[in-house]
Amino acid sequence: MERTIATEEGKRLAEEMKAIFLETSAKQNQAVSDVFHKLLLEIEKADGNMHDKTNCSVC
Protein backbone atom coordinates (compact mmCIF):
# COMPACT_ATOMS: atom_id res chain seq x y z
CA MET A 1 0.00 0.00 0.00
CA GLU A 2 1.37 3.39 -0.97
CA ARG A 3 1.13 6.00 1.77
CA THR A 4 -0.10 9.50 1.09
CA ILE A 5 1.51 10.78 4.29
CA ALA A 6 4.34 9.07 6.19
CA THR A 7 3.49 7.91 9.70
CA GLU A 8 6.08 10.15 11.33
CA GLU A 9 4.85 13.18 9.37
CA GLY A 10 1.27 12.46 10.47
CA LYS A 11 2.33 12.11 14.09
CA ARG A 12 4.31 15.35 13.91
CA LEU A 13 1.38 17.25 12.39
CA ALA A 14 -1.04 15.84 14.96
CA GLU A 15 1.26 16.86 17.80
CA GLU A 16 1.67 20.33 16.28
CA MET A 17 -2.11 20.72 16.04
CA LYS A 18 -2.69 19.13 19.49
CA ALA A 19 -4.75 16.43 17.83
CA ILE A 20 -4.86 12.66 18.06
CA PHE A 21 -3.14 10.59 15.40
CA LEU A 22 -4.77 7.45 14.02
CA GLU A 23 -3.79 5.50 10.95
CA THR A 24 -6.57 4.13 8.79
CA SER A 25 -7.34 2.99 5.27
CA ALA A 26 -10.85 3.36 3.92
CA LYS A 27 -9.70 1.63 0.74
CA GLN A 28 -8.66 -1.48 2.68
CA ASN A 29 -11.27 -1.00 5.43
CA GLN A 30 -8.59 -0.90 8.12
CA ALA A 31 -9.39 0.80 11.43
CA VAL A 32 -12.19 2.88 9.91
CA SER A 33 -14.67 2.09 12.68
CA ASP A 34 -11.92 2.73 15.26
CA VAL A 35 -11.58 6.31 14.01
CA PHE A 36 -15.30 6.99 14.38
CA HIS A 37 -15.35 5.38 17.83
CA LYS A 38 -12.42 7.52 18.99
CA LEU A 39 -14.06 10.62 17.50
CA LEU A 40 -17.26 9.98 19.45
CA LEU A 41 -15.30 9.45 22.67
CA GLU A 42 -13.47 12.74 22.14
CA ILE A 43 -16.75 14.57 21.44
CA GLU A 44 -18.33 13.12 24.58
CA LYS A 45 -15.27 14.09 26.62
CA ALA A 46 -15.32 17.65 25.24
CA ASP A 47 -19.09 17.91 25.74
CA GLY A 48 -18.73 16.87 29.37
CA ASN A 49 -16.06 19.48 29.90
CA MET A 50 -18.27 22.16 28.37
CA HIS A 51 -21.18 21.35 30.70
CA ASP A 52 -18.90 21.60 33.72
CA LYS A 53 -17.81 25.12 32.71
CA THR A 54 -21.18 26.67 31.86
CA ASN A 55 -24.09 27.93 33.90
CA CYS A 56 -26.63 27.36 31.15
CA SER A 57 -29.98 26.21 32.54
CA VAL A 58 -31.22 25.12 29.09
CA CYS A 59 -28.28 22.79 28.41
Residue 2 is predicted with a pLDDT of 76
Residue 14 lies in a domain: yes
Residue 56 is predicted with a pLDDT of 57
29: left (phi over 0), alpha (psi -120 to 50) or beta: left
Report yes or no on whether pTM surpasses 0.85. no
Residue 1 lies in a domain: no
- Half-sphere exposure (Cβ direction) of 50: Cα atoms closer than 13 Å: 8
Give the residue numbers spanning the domain of 26. 7-53
Residue 58 lies in a domain: no
2-22 pLDDT tens trace: 778 899 999 999 999 999 999
9-56 pLDDT tens trace: 999 999 999 999 999 988 889 999 999 999 999 899 988 866 555 555
31: left (phi over 0), alpha (psi -120 to 50) or beta: left
Residue 16 lies in a domain: yes
Residue 2 lies in a domain: no
